[in-house]
Amino acid sequence: MSRLLRYSPYNKEWPNEFNKLESFLGHILTGHYKQIHHVGSTSVKGLGAKPILDIDIEFEDKIEPIISILERNGWEYEGEKGIKGRYAFRRNDEIFYEHHLYALHSNQPELERHIMFRDALRKYKSFKVQYQTLKQKLIITNNKDRELYVNSKTDLVHHIMKVSGNMNKIVFAGGCFWGVEAYFKMIEGVHNTEVGYIAGNGETTYQEVCNGIGHAEAVLIEYDNETVSLNKLLDHLFNIIDPTSINKQGNDIGVQYRSGIYNYNNFELEIIQGYFNKKQPNYKRPIAIELKTDLPFFKGEEYHQDYLDKNKNGYCHVNLNSHKNV
């Protein structure tokens, strides 16, 4: 087997190949494991990776029965490879897709890190782009320097874990959610956005919202407070709305286009109210932004997510380039 570093675009068969392995392992290990996890880059939809599945068997009792069963079924036990408490296995046949197989106790921190990192890549598009870009760059530059590859990835993994663990959330409404989402996606420190509906009565649909059921079109924003503060996000919100307007932004008129800030905690409310007090002298009319918290946020239909990325000439009431002036 070549020792050159490998990279493959995302293969839609990877989840299917994992399912085959999971089914077989689950059958032979019945009663000896808690869960079988697909981790690593191949577990993240759309992410390119070295074409090898990474699989963690989580167990709560003893490792010895697992070692014995796997050895009887074609795996070679390699010991605690690399990390104490991470038990490694390999196969030399082609019955299953190429994979790395490990067994880790539920209390093993490495297992928790694998799952947390996988979930961060699945959830935050910006992390997925950063991680894939780095891997491609390293392999193009030098596909033989494994130590550089591992160390560089490790640094980025630590950064992603730190940032994802400190992620804050808030919901902004400011007119048509297509433009609001597109604008905030460009702000450094914003790692994920979703458009949806809030501050109405129960779950709803876009058609009902357009008919005036009472919800506001809104954007859920997840951000790293160490990179962009709530005050700075408020600067951006005020940059794209008329904060004194009621049920209207740009050419959009109706209750669904009201401006609002939702689902903050008490500390954030103090920041928001202090910001309003500071800004109010700049306006002749009172600031009319709705403030409510602890409300259900209903994610919008999939065709609304990242709408202006999918529809380059789509309607937008926001000057997307104006973020440069904030």
Residues identified as active-site:
176
- The helix, strand and coil proportions of the chain, stated in percent and rounded to the nearest 5, come to 40, 20, 35
- Which residue, chain included where needed, has tokens 């700049």? 282
What burial class does residue 123 get, using C-beta atoms within 10 Å of its C-beta: 0-12 exposed, 13-18 middle, 19+ buried?
A: middle
Residues ≥6 apart with Cβ < 8 Å to 99: 21, 52, 53, 54, 55, 91
- In order of 5, 96, 266, the CA distances from 1 in angstroms are 11, 16, 57
221: left (phi > 0), else alpha (psi -120 to 50), else beta?
beta
Q: Which of 50, 58, 57, 61 is nearest to 73 (CA)?
A: 57
